[in-house]
Amino acid sequence: MATASTPRRAVSLWRVLVPIICLVAGFGFAVSAHTARGTNLRAPGTANLVDLVRQAESEVHTADARVLALQAQVNRDTAAAARSNGAVAAVERAGAPLRTPFGLTAVSGPGLVVVLDDAAPSAANAGVDQNQLLVHQSDLQAVVNALWAGGAEAMSIAGQRLVPTSAVRCVGPTLLLNGEVFSPPYRVEAIGPVGGMQAALSASRGVAEFVQAAEYYGLGYTVGAETALRLPAYRGSLALSYAHVMR
């Protein structure tokens, strides 16, 4: 009797469990569908960080193009207003001498090009602290400060014009400048007296430390003179987010 009843008990148990399992599975599918709202919960656009970064960069470039178009329209409208409005014309004349020093106009002339780059992976660098193989914020700042001290009249990094409100900041192995992200090599272009800027680079302690590290670890560092550099105008916002004028 005991042997014959065992299969019957198993069958009865499965008859009870199967509906429960189906009910739980159905509930799980319903919750997933409600959460996804018709979308893929692990879509590449949300699951892949690289895609997110690329999408953000694309949006920034689109916004930059829109800003340039709007700035061009503002300049045209301002010039048109100045032709018929004496007050606007006076403000334009007063502000014109300040546009170039503040980086708001494209400039050209002789100068220096300094390129800094991370060290390439090699057997010689195996086991070396990876931080020693990267260009750091302090390295870029040392070069930029030396070039200003040497008489640079205008400067750009990775094609981004530096203005008084620009901040050279590194986030991990990348450079954050004027709201955009750049990877090495970092090309620094400076218009000004070539001899004075070269002397300032040679006299800078921070630059000397990077040159020494470049020779030891294989980082990239080159300095070259150019007769006709052309730097673009700054196209970002000039509004201050944190600083305020003292009254």
* From 38-52, 92-106, 124-138, 144-158, the region with the lowest mean pLDDT: 38-52
Same domain? 148 vs 215 = yes
Is residue 241, in this structure, part of any structural domain at all?
no
Same domain? 53 vs 78 = yes
Is residue 210, in this structure, part of any structural domain at all?
yes
Q: pLDDT (tens digit, 9 = 90+) per residue, 84-124? A: 777 766 766 665 666 677 778 899 999 999 999 999 887 66
Q: Quote the pLDDT of residue 41.
A: 39
* Strongest mean pLDDT among 86-95, 119-128, 141-150, 237-246: 141-150
Sign of the four-CA dihedral 103, 180, 185, 208: positive
pLDDT at position 50 over 50: yes
- pLDDT band for position 19 (50/70/90)? low
Same domain? 59 vs 167 = no
Is residue 227, in this structure, part of any structural domain at all?
yes
Same domain? 137 vs 92 = no
Give the CA angle between residues 161, 166, 172 to the nearest 5°: 100
* Strongest mean pLDDT among 36-50, 176-190, 227-241: 176-190
Q: Which two tokens stand for residue 162?
A: 């530096």
* CATH number for position 118: 3.30.70.1880
DSSP 162: P
Is residue 18, in this structure, part of any structural domain at all?
no
Q: Quote the pLDDT of residue 82.
A: 67
Same domain? 122 vs 64 = no
101 cis-preceded (ω within 30 degrees of 0): no
Is residue 29, in this structure, part of any structural domain at all?
no
Task: Evaluate whether 147 touches 154 at the Cβ level (below 8 Å).
Answer: no
Same domain? 118 vs 177 = yes
Q: pLDDT (tens digit, 9 = 90+) per residue, 173-191? A: 889 888 788 999 999 999 9
Q: Which domain holds residue 52?
A: 44-99
Question: What residues contact residue 80 under an 8 Å CB cut-off, 6+ apart?
Answer: none
Is residue 243, in this structure, part of any structural domain at all?
no
- pLDDT band for position 194 (50/70/90)? very high
Structurally, the chain folds into a number of domains equal to: 2
Is residue 10, in this structure, part of any structural domain at all?
no
Of 26 and 165, more confident: 165
Is residue 144, in this structure, part of any structural domain at all?
yes
Q: Cα–Cα distance between 183 and 170 in angstroms, integer?
A: 10
